[in-house]
Chains A and B, each alone.
Chain A
Amino acid sequence: MATALAERSENRIKEPTGLSDRIQWLRDYYFEGNKRPWNNQFSAWSTGTPWDIQFSEFAFYIVPETFMLLDPLNGSFQQSARNVDLPEGFWSWRLPERRSWFVKEVMVNHVPREVLPGDLLAGARFNIVTSFCFNAEERKLYDRLLFSKNGARAQMKWFHDHGYGNAGATSGHVIPGYERALTIGWKGIYEDLEEKFGALSEMDKKGPKGSQLQAMMTSATMPKELAEAYSVLCFEMSEAEKDLERKGELLQMAQNLTRTPWEPPETFWEAVQALWMTHMLVMSDENYPGAGVSFGRLDQYLLPYWETSRSRGMDREFAKEILKCFWFHCNTAYDAMIKNGNQGITAGFGQLLTLSGLGSGGKDMTNELTYIMLEVIDEMSPILEPKPNVRLHRNSPEELLDKVVEMVASSQGAPFLLNFDERSMAGMILEGRRAGLTHLINEDNVHEYAPVGCLENTMVGNDRSGTVDNNLNLLKAVELAITGGRDMLAFVDPLVGKPEKIRQDGPKTGDSSRFDSFDAFWKAYEKQTRYIVQKCVDTYELSESTRARLFTTPYLSCLVKGCAESGKDITQGAAEISLTTLEAVTYATTVDSLLAIKYLVFDKQQCTMDELRQALEDNWVGHEKLQAIAKNKAPKYGRDDDDADALGIKVMDCWCEEAWKHSTKSTRRQYRPGMLSWNYWAGDGYIMAASADGREQGQFLSNAICPSNGADINGPTSNANSVGKVLGGKAADGKGDWEGYLNPLPNGASHTITFNPSLLKDPEHAAKFKAFLRGYTENGGTALQINMLDPEVLKDAQKHPQDYRHLLVRITGYNAYFTTVGRELQNEVIERLSHSRF
């Protein structure tokens, strides 16, 4: 049935094409999932002390689905951890040195090594959960900071349970200085560390700075020793190999690994091998499988190696096989919790790579490797990792856009995210100015930016901006403005079913039923916004400061500029650009709710504020007519309606200004605004009370900067225009932050539009779609995810999930296999497609 449907549909599911036998085998093997004899599941390692702990739970505080699992995960890692023999004097070392030795010891001497059949890259298992290497005192401190009554975990849970959102010091989400690691090799990094250590005073050498640099030096030798061990393995395998061609490959791999990544690579194969080894060890170091550990502009910094090898006669298709092996390895990050199934926390990790984009002087940087990588993506997809992001700008070449549109047409949606340079760079320039970092982000270098994770714009190799660490439901401020600072609904502990007493949490902004104008309501909303932002900052501080004191990632610190220079770890805010991002969630629901309050209570007087409040408390039950008016008659953001969008701009200004007012106390990281919603708009829809826009409790909130579900009734151009408008559009005087563009969100904003596949039915229409993208460059946002789905295929996939294992959907800029997301989310994707009223 499903097959028949797929055959007759013009929008059939994309199949991989042009894969050689070895790549086909590796890809098929990967999709065998937990039936595979080999996998890259987390293994846990302990110092063997009774107080040892391995699982860095604060990295999961932004994943509400895991809250119930924190204790079980802690426990299971503790129980399954294998002991590692410690060297003499271990406990006399400072924490960073203990930790760097331990991670290296595990990776080099304990984790098994394999090379899969036909694989051209070494570096297989890397998912580890390693001891924090605490002594008893440190463990006590950790417990107090995390698990006491007002500790990080309890505060984080309160914040989430009461509908504010979530916040936590998360790993990943950084573009390490891979280009530097390739250019000077780990040897160069090591020598630089040695020099910096040598330059310290004798006192500093013995203090925390010296210890940090020592730890980083230990870490800097980890890739060397691991590569050497893999080299031995490759050599042994080549000895036993009968097939001459394969034997030669294994020998070459052995050779590659004896030199790199310690020495700088010369050939393309060496460069990709060195990059992979360097990259996977970041995930080992952080004990975090890849989320947002991004590659940056891969087509730029691999180009010299590509050109060298091509001039020496490297076969084009063989080079693509090397890249395809790299693709395969990136996907094995997902094995981390493979025995728990492939849903939830392992969906959408986001090892992002960036292609094309502007260079200095407005030059387009598209090159041969850009197209090679797009070919690889096209031939491998559908596949989840690494996630590609193609940077477009006003002068992107026709050929690139043709390729982009062709790939959109042949896939079920774009197998990449599009990033729009002018709008994005305007935001980064703003960040440089507002954060006092114009020496690091300015008109001369802003083109070097690249997104991490999904679409979060950062600089490269010196920037960690906490792009997923603070996720705030703006809608909470509307609720608190209605109630005068108290939860509308009492939180009910789901385990015991007992409602908590409602308290005065936010400021007393007055009895909203006495407000005589919308302006009065707006003032209350502003105050409550100030409060929820402060609450988010306070909540985040607890895990941020804990991490800064007790969790170091010396290996990653080697790859981020600012750490060696300051003798501090990246977790202590040592990156040159060390910001954290307040990601606003529920933007459109918030704007639409404010529009509805204005419309219902003040402009049209369809009800009083008390009646509206009652309707919300009753979840609209018994107030169906009012709900229908709120849904269908009140204005909405996303329709290119200037009046409605004007309130959207006001909301944007309000919360962005609040974000810029804050910095973390422990690590001095300036807050900056952004709009990513990951999947919170789905889950938090069950936590937050009904909203004035007509949404019931349990219905989804709006996603990132997208209009509310079904609100964009005027089609893609109006949707895009609204998004561009609330991002500031273009400066009236032409003096924007980049070529007239404005953008209050340096992080960028996730925007998804689902198109009818008929839009790409022939070359003439494809040209129209291309023109739409050119138009989006002018009028739209910072990033666009294109969905192109046939709802019939999706409905069939719901009925026959077994037939659609590979069907990818894209939500909030991260990809997920359709059949692995929850039913509600599936329905939501189908609903979006219709562009219908809601």
Chain B
Amino acid sequence: MSSEEIVNSEAMILEIQRMSTEDGPGIRTTVFFKGCSLNCSWCHNPESISKQPQLHWVGNRCIGCKSCLDVCPQQALTLSESGMAIDRTLCDGCGECAEECPSTALELMGETWRMSDLVDEVIKDKVYFDKSDGGVTISGGEPTLQPQFAAAFLKSLKERGVQTALDTCGLCSQKALEIILPYATMVLFDLKVMNSERHKHFTNVGNERILASLDYIVGFMRSHVHPKTLWIRTPIIPGATDTEENIRAIGAYIAEHTSQVVERWELCAFNNLCLDKYQRLDLAWAFESAVLNRKEDMERLAEVARSSGVNPEIVHWTGSTRLENDSKPENNATDPLKVVNKGCMTP
């Protein structure tokens, strides 16, 4: 691409989160790309899976003006006492209703960003990156699905002295990694389930390609200056990834394949704050009634991880755990005070 083409190239971005403290070291701005190659049944960001912009309706913002109904070219919207119904077979994500909606009750998730605008946007926090050894993380969704843009974006940041992180699920082509990795200061890599059949059961695909990606990244790191740092992240999902056997197996793999390279292995506790998102996207969620891990469970699994063959010092666990005396999970999805740690669970 010519430099002008690069400046004007575009990507489908779900969200830009500033002062993110959960997606790598320091203070970061995390850019969530839209579209994912995996389809984890527990996904905490269901709106990040489809590459297409998606409409949702946030009921408590709606003022009932019905402006949206008239502007929808597909007549996909119906407002009744039970709320807004979006006919997903009709809605093509054109966004006209969201543009019209005065209260942002209707929102189109997913926005096209021009490279130069995105760079300008994230560079605003450079001072905070510099003071904290932080930087910019590209996450998702799966940023490697838009590899040319991702690579050029990170390159542009690197040229401006910003440290960069690629957060990936690993289900991507080697070619994508090949062009992105030289511009990533670090990689955040998700390892979810070690048993490939179980991996397929929960995510629709086996983990062979993912492990190959990890091996490629490790090999790349051993022969190049960048990336310098690798963090492995494992979502601890009740009934899916939270067995001692799984953690031991992941640990063994990390110990065998990534030694000297991996700096941290994070176990990220399951979180149910995304329930509302599923409802707003008219999707069912298999983990709707799953209960948050207890603190003891997380500590026990972290202990298993530490004794799995990896350097015990690299093991950390993060995320919210069940409040004591709570018999059932809280649904705080309507409570904006509870902030979801988005990057913790890359789908």
Contact = CB atoms under 8 A, between A and B. Distances in A.
B134 A717 contact: no
A628 B124 CA distance: 29
A715 B18 contact: yes
B102 A632 contact: yes
Given A628-B102, A632-B104, A779-B127, A772 B19 contact: yes
Contact of B124 (A718, A758, A792, A833): A718
Contact of B132 (A633, A772, A791): A772
Interface residues of A, number: 35
Contacts of A837: 61, 104
Contacts of A566: none
B58 to A, nearest CB: 9
Interface string B12-23: 000001110100
A834 B338 CA distance: 8
Given A632-B103, A768-B134, A834 B337 contact: yes
B102 A775 contact: no
Nearest to A629: B102
Interface in B109-156: 124-125, 127-128, 130-134
A614 to B, nearest CB: 17
A628 B325 contact: no
17 contacts: A624-B63, A625-B63, A628-B103, A631-B103, A718-B125, A756-B339, A768-B26, A768-B134, A772-B19, A772-B128, A772-B131, A774-B131, A775-B27, A775-B125, A775-B130, A792-B337, A834-B336
Give chain B's interface residue range (CB within 8 Å of chain A): 20 to 34
Interface in A616-668: 624-626, 628-629, 631-633, 640
Contacts of A640: 124
Contacts of B225: none
Given A633-B102, A714-B18, A768-B26, 5 more contacts: A624-B63, A628-B103, A717-B125, A772-B131, A836-B336
A24 to B, nearest CB: 30
A767 B61 CA distance: 36
B324 interface: yes
B105 to A, nearest CB: 9
B296 to A, nearest CB: 15
Query: Which of B17, B124, B127 counts the most A-chain CB atoms under 10 A from its CB?
Result: B127
A136 interface: no
Nearest to A789: B337
Contacts, number: 84
Contact of B26 (A624, A714, A771): A771
Lowest 9 A-B CB distances belong to which pairs? A771-B132, A628-B102, A775-B128, A774-B131, A836-B336, A628-B103, A771-B131, A629-B102, A715-B19
Query: Which of B67, B131, B132, B325 counts the most A-chain CB atoms under 10 A from its CB?
Result: B131
Dominant SS at the A interface?
helix
B173 to A, nearest CB: 34
Contacts of B132: 767-768, 771-772, 774-775
B76 interface: no
Interface string A161-204: 00000000000000000000000000000000000000000000
Given A8-B324, A633-B102, A721-B124, A771 B27 contact: yes
Nearest to B121: A640
Contacts of B128: 717, 771-772, 775, 779
A625 B67 contact: yes
A772 B27 contact: yes
Given A8-B325, A628-B63, A758-B339, A768 B21 contact: yes
Interface string B64-105: 010100000000000000000000000000000000001110
Contacts of A774: 131-132
Contacts of B27: 717, 768, 771-772, 775
B323 interface: yes
Interface in B293-308: none
A130 B284 CA distance: 74
B104 A717 contact: no
A44 B102 CA distance: 58
